[in-house]
Amino acid sequence: MEARSGKKPFRILSLDGGGTFALIQAKVLDDLFPGEDGHQVLSHFDLVSACSGGAIVAAALIEGYSPRQIFELFDNPVNRHALFGRLPWYRSLLQLMTGVFSPSSPVGYRFSTDGKLAFLHRILPVMGSTSLQNLHGILNDSIASLREQRDEPGRPMSFLFVTYDFDRDRARMMRSDVSSPAASFPHRQQRATLAEAAHASSTAPINWFDKPAEFDGCRFWDGAMTGYNNPVLAGVVEAIAMGVPRAISAYCRWARARFFCPNAAARGSRMPCVVRAPAPASCRSWSRWARRSSPILRMRTLSLPTSCSTAACRPTSPVAPLPTPQLCA
């Protein structure tokens, strides 16, 4: 997608859900923006859309953590156990009972919702208790000064967290910009704090947390339940509603698709391979992105057999073609 003459693309950072994938997001951001803190990283983008684990990464960036600090934060077993705080045995009887009959797939919640919120408040001491609406001004003041140092245009930056409103059975976008044309009318004050928004977006149901996130008179489950676990579409719709021409948007995301090799399938097995999209907003070439990211991506990528080339792979199910990302000039 081409940018207009003299203008940079409208840059969207899309942070997916997926639990431990948040660690890989932090590693990739650290690779793209080494040595930069959270606000410096965010200053490279005009919109951040985040869901589930990606919402916690976004909240940590807003707090000011560098990507490396975010990785170290969640790589610490003590912090992981605080985020996923185990319930006492008498609160997880269903899991214990079904585990007797099906040890590999017990049913029932395991983690404390209240414990997760307490952990988020602990790691977000400065911004965690600030409403998203107030954060919009605070964050843009910080980012504007950083962009001024780079002599970049002073475009306002906004962010949104995808949640599932259980009582209304619908997706709910918790925005920093409450006046966004994409927001439901009439526009109302966004009372959710940063910690609450990240909490609402990341409270997975059924086999995970014991109850939904509750505040503002509503109950919320993980935003992945809305179909926006990869929230890039939410970000693109938000940008279009804000009046950004479709021809000047660029996005940075981590896209995954499952493929299988026909030769392997003929032998009765399905060999998955993983396709990654580059980060166009980083202004790096495709080849350099692949070269720099390969140590990280190998954590999830399986080697293909010699009898099957990447070109011979076909998707396991119909996949809509992705728009070609436009690299910055």
Per-residue pLDDT tens over the stretch 290-302 = 334 333 333 332 2
Count of CB atoms situated within 10 Å of the CB of 210: 17
DSSP 307: T
For 187-218, write each residue's pLDDT tens digit.
666 689 999 999 999 999 978 898 999 988 89
Token output for 143:
């980012």
- Could you give the CA distance from residue 45 to residue 306 in angstroms, rounded to a whole number? 40
Neighbour-count burial of 158, counting CB atoms closer than 10 A to its CB (0-12 exposed, 13-18 middle, 19+ buried)? buried
What would the two tokens of residue 161 be? 């967290």
pTM exceeding the 0.85 threshold for the entire prediction? no
Average pLDDT over residues 88-99: 73
Q: What is the mean pLDDT of the chain?
A: 75
Looking at per-residue confidence, does 236 or 309 come out higher?
236
pLDDT higher than threshold 90 for residue 278: no
pLDDT at 322: 40
The CA angle 213-43-248, to the nearest 5 degrees, is 100
pLDDT tier, 105 (very low <50, low <70, confident <90, very high otherwise): confident
> Rounded to whole angstroms, how far apart are CA atoms 172 and 194?
15
Q: Across residues 13-26, what is the average pLDDT?
A: 88
- How high is the pLDDT of residue 20? 76
Pairing of strands 213-215, 218-222: antiparallel
- Residue 55, both tokens: 């919402």
How far apart (Å, rounded) are the C-alpha atoms in residues 57 and 52? Answer: 9
Which of 182, 225, 208, 24 lies closest to 106 in space, CA to CA?
208
pLDDT band for position 99 (cuts 50, 70, 90)? confident
Question: Is 53 strand, coil or helix?
Answer: helix
- Pick the closest to residue 271 from 283, 259, 282, 280 (CA basis): 259
Determine the average pLDDT of the residues in 302-326.
Answer: 37
